[in-house]
């Protein structure tokens, strides 16, 4: 700090300014020196620096070079993956106790080297408190210890890749890597530039803590493409990403068709509402705003929503508190122009500014700024600019506050301020976000699941809930890997339905024409076209509607209308509806068994068995309805923490060919039990049992629109589901190309995907066993999203 | 002391609307305690500021003219002259804010200060200190007598019976406690009190001062108190007319810290003049 040393005691006595914060980095510097300022890749338990690789420079806050990292190539990925594959077996063969010990030792190694860790994080502009990493290690040591007793029907995925964008935080990256390891997986971490050095150090500390070589590798690269390259390696079983949306989209496109499930945490690009109600402790709320909104490196981007009655009070306090705050360095020089433009535009639209000081005429620093009186339609609210700029909106009633908070494509988190307990809980329930912080903000603890809604991600990290992404049901085989086909994304599923032409059929044996089920009514396809349904011998058994885009649209609209009410119904009411559905199915058991028999050629006896199992399955799910309700989480801080399963919204399901009724009932039941609405597309090959099942739905007391069944071309309907933004999740059984299309096209807007390439599964022995009871939990976990609620108390 | 607070009519609706979220305040208190004010000259400057805000206090049953005299002279030269000189602060009028004594010792203090050519104010804890459980008549008489003897500031123990039953009074300064309680000045309580000051300022434009008292013994604590005022109310409240630290032994620790800043060595207690 130039000039700071020339300040006399008297100068400071008069100005009463704070002194410069001393930031020593000597410990981290000597660690870097020990590695000659050039860190290799961490493969097979050691640093390796293969020759002939490009390097990337990591810079500190002043732009000075700190160290270089190696850019991994295809060879390095293979080396790392083959070591991971063999290490996975050794790691998974250890007892839970032995694995748990590694994490406990890691916690003490981290404490021992906390100075080095903290300085290195600071140097690479990824400030992280070593205490949060220690907490991660200790928390997951516990899960490693009790994995087999508390999740007996689950097996590790195998090799897991954890990818972070350049701006991703160390905590969010390792909130994935550490649980993946604790569950017995081998993990490859592909950090961004800010987290590269701390991640490499952590890998070294893991080895010091006794982690077998190869279980954890860290690969650094020049950009996001490394993550996609790793995903393309056939040894990888699962990839999870944390970071910004643009890089996430790129990753989705590059990994489409490789058969790797990918999940996304896009908290970095999410805008979160901070809502201050008139019943709040205004001073503490303003304090929270000051603390979180103007940081240089923000985990969350905020929009401040203030109830009109306390608007003046909040603004006056913001003014007082912001007086004298220093300008905040922007992350990139180019940000300054963006910030200037956004502020200017807001002012042109009538916004007034609260600014701690006048912005310097140029340069990459900007004073903390509140844009008062902007509206949801302003560009600075739709996509808040980088830097310490906070839009401030007003609302009238409590309900409007919630509406304002929800009216956003994002759904990461919300901070709400009120001393009214009932309001807090009602508001927490109504906000469609993954985390709700009451009278607090930005609390992250590994026991609280972080699960984004809408555009904020598809991954659940933290808590027991976040462990399942790294596990698969023991009885379900791992998903088969594939290589991308040449799919024309723009024309996939766009073939038009064709009207049937008269064939001069025998009038005495015209097959029955079925209708589809949309919004509670039996209907023809909007196009009026039908498709013939053939039996095993090729004979036409029936005609079904050839549904398309408009039928999907009608079904989704009906579903979106009814779903909030369905979700709000009491779980026991939903359970009763499922019991009655089960009873109706039992009544029509013969018809349905016959349809299975006719459609698939299965013996009538076997078909009856499937129907019987389906009835049991519905009973199981009805029973689950009001039993599984998340729970109370225990945090080190004092307060109440809850994790609550909630419905996703509207789910699109492309049903499998196998077990047509059992699979339909299992998926429908699980989705509907937790409060979702479903739009189901029966197997194109075997639609008859589903068409027959429509009668069961007609007789049921499910509200119109909760379940729709649309028949037709699988690709066309897949395309239609993918292109409807109301649909939040798609469960797909079908072609490899269909999987690839969905992965490619469902990243923006983001959907939760559960993809199965049936043909590939058949090649590898048949996919999941629909009759197995453990399937229930797997589907149930797909059907819910988690909300964590944090109410700190004194 | 700043401009007098003329007061407003008692508005109990305002009082009843106040919301305090305890955990948020506790968190804020921790955050303020973690705030580093700086090292070297920053620390020295802040410590000197703390000195100028001290109400140097003796409130003992065995106070006599002689120890009050020592206290007064210490208050006028709170930090050894050579130490101030080496920081170039010897001619900046560094004294404590006031001396604070029992009513019976006001005359002694005034006399000592006058003899030392000092215009330092004398504060007194009149009104049945520390319980305040004496009749209003004798309490008022106590104030009158202290003022007659030359006290210019009176720390009044409010009638807590009336406060607890909702019958409040206004003041120019509010003080955390008498310093004679088992729990005295704590940061969370102080945060709530200074926020009340801010609230009153925003509503009426009048600035009320704040005085934490009791148990403030270390230089480090005095820095936290200054940081608390700066963070919550701003720099304007970092001066003796709006902020006082009620303390007796604090000054000795501050002086030792300043000694360390100037000389690089730790002082023995006998190296610094006693109060």
pLDDT above 60 for B122? yes
pLDDT at residue B145 in the model: 95
- Which residues from A are below 8 Å from B when comparing CB atoms? 7-13, 15-22, 279-285, 287-288, 291, 313, 316-317, 320, 323-324, 417, 419, 439-440, 638-639, 792-794
In a domain, A773, yes or no: no
What range defines the domain where residue A306 resides? 271-443
Average pLDDT over residues A141-157: 95
Minimum-distance CB partner of B19 among A280, A287, A440:
A280
Nearest to A287 among B24, B46, B48 (CB): B24
**The pLDDT of residue A2 is above 60:** no
Give the mean pLDDT of A413-435: 96
Radius of gyration of chain B (CA): 19
- Write the DSSP symbol of residue A325: P
Considering the domain architecture, whether residues A151 and A179 belong to the same structural domain is answered as yes
pLDDT the model gives residue A792: 95
Evaluate whether A472 touches A157 at the Cβ level (below 8 Å): yes
Helical (H) or strand (E) element with A329: strand A328-329
Domain membership of residue A493 (yes or no) is no
Q: Are residues A262 and A276 in the same domain?
A: no
The closest of A274, A745, A249, A709 to A525, measured between CA atoms, is A709
> Residues 210-269, chain B: which have Cβ within 8 Å of A?
226, 230, 233-235, 238
Measure the CA–CA gap between A352 and A374, rounded to whole angstroms. 8
Q: Is residue A481 part of a domain?
A: no
- A585/A688 same-domain check: yes
Choice between A383 and A159, residue whose per-residue pLDDT is larger: A159
DSSP letter at A622 equals H
Domain contains A452: no
Q: Which pLDDT value is given to residue A3?
A: 47
Any residues with CB less than 8 A from the CB of A440 and at least 6 apart, and which? A288, A415, A790, A792, B23, B24, B27
Across the range A219-242, mean pLDDT stands at 94
**Partner-chain residue, chosen from A21, A417, A419, that has the shortest CB–CB distance to B36:** A21
Comparing alpha-carbon positions, the chain A residue that sits nearest to B226 is A16
Do A113 and A194 lie in one domain? The reply is yes
* pLDDT at residue A504 in the model: 67
pLDDT tens profile A495-525: 877 777 777 667 777 889 999 999 999 999 9
The Cα–Cα gap between B225 and B194 comes to 11
Structurally, chain A folds into a number of domains equal to 3
State if pTM tops 0.80: yes
Higher pLDDT, A726 or B131: A726
So what's the pLDDT on residue B2?
58
Q: What is the pLDDT of residue A760?
A: 81
Write down the pLDDT at residue A509.
75
Q: How far is A640 from chain B (nearest CA, A)?
A: 12
User: In chain B, what percentage of residues exceed pLDDT 70?
Assistant: 99
Does residue A789 lie in a domain region?
A: no
Looking at the structure, do residues A259 and A365 belong to the same domain, yes or no?
Answer: no
Residue of A nearest to B87 (CA): A9
- Structure tokens of A619? 């009973």
Identify from A129, A131, A284, A316 which residue to disrupt to test chain B contact, counting B C-beta atoms within 10 A and taking the largest count.
Answer: A284
Model ipTM value: 0.93
Q: What is the per-residue pLDDT across A203-222, written as a single tens digit (0 to 9) for each?
A: 999 999 999 999 999 999 99
Q: What angle do CA A656, A657, A663 make, to 5 degrees?
A: 50
> Which residue did the predictor score with more confidence, B269 or B231?
B231
Instruction: Write out pLDDT tens, residues A538-551.
Output: 889 999 999 999 99
The two structure tokens encoding residue A396: 């009238």
A557-583 confidence digits (pLDDT tens): 999 999 999 999 999 999 999 999 999
Rg of chain A taking only CA atoms, in angstroms: 28
Catalytic: which of B49, B74, B175, B230? Answer: B175
Same domain, A630 and A708: yes
Q: Is residue A775 part of a domain?
A: no
Residues A708 and A762 in one domain: yes
pLDDT of res. B161: 81
Structure confidence at residue A1 as a pLDDT band (50, 70, 90): very low
| Residue A502 maps to a domain | no
Q: How far apart are CA B99 and CA B67, in angstroms?
A: 12
Q: Tens digits of per-residue pLDDT, B137-189? A: 999 999 999 999 999 999 998 887 877 777 767 788 999 988 888 888 999 99
Omega before B130 within 30 of 0, i.e. cis: yes
- Tell me which chain B residues have a C-beta less than 8 angstroms from the C-beta of A287: 24, 28
Residues of A in contact with B49 (CB under 8 A): 13, 16
Quick one: tokens of A638?
């004092």
* A428 pLDDT above the threshold of 50: yes
Q: Are A9 and B44 in contact (CB < 8 Å)?
A: yes
Which segments within A301-412 are labelled E, that is strand? 301-307, 328-329, 352-355, 365-366, 369-372, 389-395, 410-411
Q: Does A297 lie in the same domain as A261?
A: no
- Here the CATH number for the domain that contains residue A692 is 3.40.605.10
Cα–Cα distances in angstroms (integers) from residue A277 to residues A411, A423, A653, B202, B262, in the given order: 20, 9, 40, 20, 51
φ/ψ of A647, rounded to 5, equals -70, 150
Interchain CB contact of B4 with A (< 8 Å): no
Taking the C-alpha atoms of residue A386 and residue A331, their distance in angstroms, rounded to an integer, is 8
**Closest B-chain CA to A439:** B24
Give mean pLDDT, residues B211-218. 94
Residue (of A25, A8, A45) closest to A210 by Cα position = A45
CA distance B40 to chain A (A): 9
Asked, for residue A459, whether it belongs to a domain, the answer is no
**CA neighbor of B53 nearest in space, from B186, B223, B195, B174:** B223
For residue A718, what are the CA distances in angstroms to A172, A531, A668, A680, A745? 33, 17, 17, 10, 11
User: Per-residue pLDDT tens for A448-484?
Assistant: 999 999 999 999 999 999 999 999 999 888 878 889 9
Q: The domain B14-263 is classified under which CATH number: 3.20.20.70, 3.40.50.2300, 3.30.565.10, 3.30.230.10?
A: 3.20.20.70
Residues of B in contact with A15 (CB under 8 A): 235
- Mean pLDDT value across residues A98-103: 98
Contact B45 A323 (CB under 8 A): no
> In the prediction, which pLDDT does A316 show?
96
Average pLDDT over residues A434-443: 95
Average pLDDT, chain A: 93
Q: Which chain A residues contact residue B20 at CB under 8 A?
A: 281, 284
- Within the 151-210 window of chain B, which residues sit less than 8 Å (CB to CB) from chain A? 195, 198-199, 202
| pLDDT class of A391 with cuts at 50, 70, 90 | very high
User: Is there a single domain that holds both residue A241 and residue A275?
Assistant: no
Question: How much is the average pLDDT of A59-70?
Answer: 90
- A305 shares its domain with A196: no
Give the residue from chain A lying closest to B50, CA to CA: A13
- Decide: B24 and A281 in contact? Cβ < 8 Å: yes
For residue A190, what are the β-bridge partners? A163
A632 shares a domain with A525 = yes
Contact (CB<8Å) A313/B202: yes
Domain containing residue A295: CATH number:
3.40.309.10
Tokens 């013994």 identify what position? B217
Asked if B211 is an active-site residue, the reply is: yes
- Does the annotation count B49 as an active-site position? no
Look at phi and psi of residue A765 and say left if phi exceeds 0, alpha if psi is from -120 to 50, else beta. left
Query: For A602-639, what is each residue's pLDDT tens digit?
Result: 999 999 999 999 999 999 999 988 887 778 888 888 99
Token representation of residue A562: 């009814």
User: Over 70: is that where the pLDDT of A5 sits?
Assistant: no
Is A439 within 8 Å of B89 when comparing Cβ atoms? Answer: no
pLDDT reading at A344 higher than 90: yes
- Cis ω before A749 (30° cut-off from 0): yes
Q: Nearest chain B Cα to A15, which residue?
A: B235
In this prediction, residue A617 carries a pLDDT of 95
* Residue % of chain A over a pLDDT of 90: 81
- Read off the tokens for A731: 């469960």
């Amino acid at each position: 700090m130039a000039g700071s040393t020339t300040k006399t005691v008297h100068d400071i006595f008069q100005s009463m300014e704070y002194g410069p914060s001393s930031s020593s980095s000597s410990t981290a510097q000597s660690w870097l020196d020990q590695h000659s300022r050039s860190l290799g890749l961490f493969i097979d338990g050691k640093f390796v620096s293969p020759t002939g690789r490009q390097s990337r420079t990591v810079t500190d806050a002043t732009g000075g070079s700190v160290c270089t990292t190696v850019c991994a190539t295809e060879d390095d990925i293979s080396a790392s993956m083959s070591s991971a594959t063999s290490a996975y077996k050794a790691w998974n063969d250890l007892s839970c106790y032995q694995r748990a010990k590694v994490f406990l030792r890691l916690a003490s190694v981290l404490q021992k080297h906390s100075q080095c860790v903290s300085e290195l994080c600071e140097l690479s502009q990824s400030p992280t408190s070593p205490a949060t990493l220690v907490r991660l290690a200790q928390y997951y040591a516990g899960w490693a210890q009790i994995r087999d007793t508390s999740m007996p029907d689950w097996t590790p995925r195998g090799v897991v890749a954890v990818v972070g964008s350049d701006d991703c935080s160390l905590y969010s990256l390792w909130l994935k890597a550490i649980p993946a390891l604790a569950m017995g997986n081998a993990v490859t971490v592909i950090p961004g530039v800010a987290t590269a050095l701390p991640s490499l150090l952590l890998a070294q500390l893991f080895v010091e803590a006794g982690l077998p070589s190869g279980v954890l590798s860290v690969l650094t690269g020049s950009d996001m493409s490394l993550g996609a390259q790793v995903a393309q390696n056939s040894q990888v079983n699962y990839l999870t990403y944390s970071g910004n949306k643009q890089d996430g989209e790129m990753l989705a496109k590059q990994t489409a068709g490789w058969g790797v499930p990918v999940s996304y945490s896009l908290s970095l690009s999410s805008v979160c509402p901070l809502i201050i109600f008139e019943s709040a402790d205004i001073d503490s709320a303003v304090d929270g705003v000051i603390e979180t909104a103007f940081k240089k490196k923000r985990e969350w981007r905020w929009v401040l929503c203030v109830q009109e009655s306390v608007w003046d009070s909040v603004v006056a306090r913001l003014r007082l508190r912001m007086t004298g705050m220093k300008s905040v360095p922007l992350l990139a020089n180019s940000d300054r122009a963006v910030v200037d433009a956004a502020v200017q535009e807001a002012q042109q639209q009538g916004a007034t500014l609260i600014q701690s000081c006048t912005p310097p005429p140029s340069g990459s620093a900007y004073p903390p700024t509140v844009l008062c009186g902007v509206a949801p339609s302003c560009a600075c609210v739709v996509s808040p600019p980088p830097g310490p700029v906070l839009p401030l909106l007003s609302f009238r009633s409590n309900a409007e506050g919630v509406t304002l908070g929800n009216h956003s494509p994002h759904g990461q988190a919300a901070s709400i301020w009120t001393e009214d307990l009932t309001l807090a809980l009602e508001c927490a329930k109504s906000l469609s976000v993954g985390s709700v912080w009451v009278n607090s903000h930005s609390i992250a603890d590994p026991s609280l699941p972080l699960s984004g809604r809408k555009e904020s991600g598809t991954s659940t990290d933290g808590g027991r809930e976040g462990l399942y992404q790294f596990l698969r049901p023991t009885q379900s085989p791992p998903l088969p890997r594939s290589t991308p086909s040449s799919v024309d994304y723009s024309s996939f599923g766009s073939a038009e339905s064709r009207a049937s032409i008269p064939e001069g059929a025998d009038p005495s044996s015209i097959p029955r024409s079925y209708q589809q089920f949309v919004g509670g009514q039996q209907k023809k396809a909007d196009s009026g076209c039908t498709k013939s349904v053939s039996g095993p011998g090729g004979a036409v058994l029936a005609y079904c509607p050839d549904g398309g885009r408009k039928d999907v649209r009608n079904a989704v609209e009906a579903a979106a209308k009814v779903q909030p009410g369905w979700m709000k119904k009491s779980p026991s009411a939903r359970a009763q509806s499922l019991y009655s559905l089960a009873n109706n199915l039992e009544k029509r058991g013969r018809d349905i068994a016959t349809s299975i028999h006719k459609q698939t050629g299965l013996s009538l006896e076997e078909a009856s068995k499937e129907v019987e199992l389906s009835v049991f399955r519905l009973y199981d799910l009805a029973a689950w309805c009001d039993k599984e309700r998340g729970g109370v989480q225990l945090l080190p801080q004092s307060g109440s923490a809850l994790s609550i399963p909630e419905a996703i919204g509207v789910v699109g399901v492309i049903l499998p060919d196998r077990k047509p009724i059992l699979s339909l009932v299992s998926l429908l039941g699980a989705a509907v039990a937790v409060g979702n609405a479903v739009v189901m597309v029966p197997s194109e090959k075997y639609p008859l049992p589903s068409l027959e099942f429509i009668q069961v739905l007609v007789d049921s007391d499910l509200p119109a629109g909760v379940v729709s069944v649309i028949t037709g071309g699988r690709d066309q309907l897949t395309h239609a589901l993918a292109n409807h933004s109301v649909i939040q999740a798609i469960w797909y059984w079908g072609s490899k190309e269909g999987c690839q299309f969905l992965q490619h096209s469902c990243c923006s807007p983001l959907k939760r995907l559960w993809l199965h390439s049936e043909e590939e599964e058949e090649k590898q022995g048949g996919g999941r066993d629909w009759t197995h009871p453990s399937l229930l939990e797997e589907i149930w976990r797909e059907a819910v999203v988690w909300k964590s609620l944090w109410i700190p108390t004194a | 002391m700043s401009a007098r607070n003329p007061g407003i009519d008692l508005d109990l609706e305002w009082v009843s609307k106040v919301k305090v979220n305890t955990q948020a305040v506790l968190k804020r208190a921790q955050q303020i305690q973690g705030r580093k004010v700086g090292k070297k000259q920053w620390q020295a400057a802040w410590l000197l500021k703390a000195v100028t805000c001290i109400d140097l206090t003796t409130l003992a049953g065995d106070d006599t003219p002689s120890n009050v005299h020592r206290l007064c002279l210490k208050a006028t030269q709170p930090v050894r002259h050579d130490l101030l000189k080496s920081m170039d602060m010897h001619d900046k009028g560094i004294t404590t804010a006031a001396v604070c004594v029992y009513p019976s010792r006001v005359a002694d203090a005034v006399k000592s200060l006058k003899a030392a050519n000092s215009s330092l104010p004398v504060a007194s804890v009149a009104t049945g200190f520390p319980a305040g459980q004496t009749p209003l008549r004798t309490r008022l008489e106590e104030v009158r007598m202290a003022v007659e003897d030359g006290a210019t500031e009176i720390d009044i123990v409010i009638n807590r019976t009336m406060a607890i039953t909702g019958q409040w009074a206004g003041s120019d300064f509010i003080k955390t406690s008498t310093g004679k309680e088992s729990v005295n000045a704590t940061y969370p309580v102080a945060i709530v009190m200074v926020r009340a000051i801010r609230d009153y300022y925003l509503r009426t434009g009048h600035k009320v001062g704040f005085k934490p008292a009791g148990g403030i013994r270390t230089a480090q604590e005095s820095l936290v108190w200054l940081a608390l005022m700066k963070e919550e109310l701003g720099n304007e409240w970092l001066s003796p007319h709006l902020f006082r630290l009620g303390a007796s032994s604090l000054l000795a620790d501050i002086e030792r810290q300043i000694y360390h800043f100037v000389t690089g060595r730790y002082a023995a207690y006998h190296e610094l003049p006693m109060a």
